[in-house]
Amino acid sequence: GIQVEQSPPDLILQEGANSTLRCNFSDSVNNLQWFHQNPWGQLINLFYIPSGTKQNGRLSATTVATERYSLLYISSSQTTDSGVYFCAVDPSGGSNYKLTFGKGTLLTVNP
């Protein structure tokens, strides 16, 4: 099956810093989503981004489908950004629209 690798596995920032999270995947994809899992375990959709660039406030994401990677940018980080960020993909050619998740990046933002 498709492989999803996220880096770095852990990241510690001071409030106000910027960061870039990376997701590499081993095959072409129909669907790529970024999620934030907050400390209470809730998975929250950030972006649906199988290709191109999107921005939402301090967050933006870029997927370069031809090179099989996606980047999540967090600017001016806040303590509420802490949690685990997951990249999840649905490979092209599949007909079931199911997601395979990476292992996540644990982000800690200190005040």
Partner 1 sequence: EAGVAQSPRYKIIEKRQSVAFWCNPISGHATLYWYQQILGQGPKLLIQFQNNGVVDDSQLPKDRFSAERLKGVDSTLKIQPAKLEDSAVYLCASSSRDSYRGSGTDTQYFGPGTRLTVL
Q: Which of 14, 39, 45, 111 binds partner 1 (CB under 8 A)?
A: 45
User: How many other CB atoms are found less than 10 A from the CB of residue 80?
Assistant: 11
Q: What gap in Å lies between CA 85 and CA 89, rounded to an integer?
A: 14
Does residue 90 touch partner 1 according to CB under 8 A? Answer: yes
Q: Which phi and psi (to 5°) does residue 66 adopt?
A: -65, -25
Q: In the complex, what is the shortest distance from the CB of residue 42 to partner 1, in angstroms, rounded to a whole number?
A: 5
Does residue 26 touch partner 1 according to CB under 8 A? Answer: no
Q: In the complex, what is the shortest distance from the CB of residue 76 to partner 1, in angstroms, rounded to a whole number?
A: 26
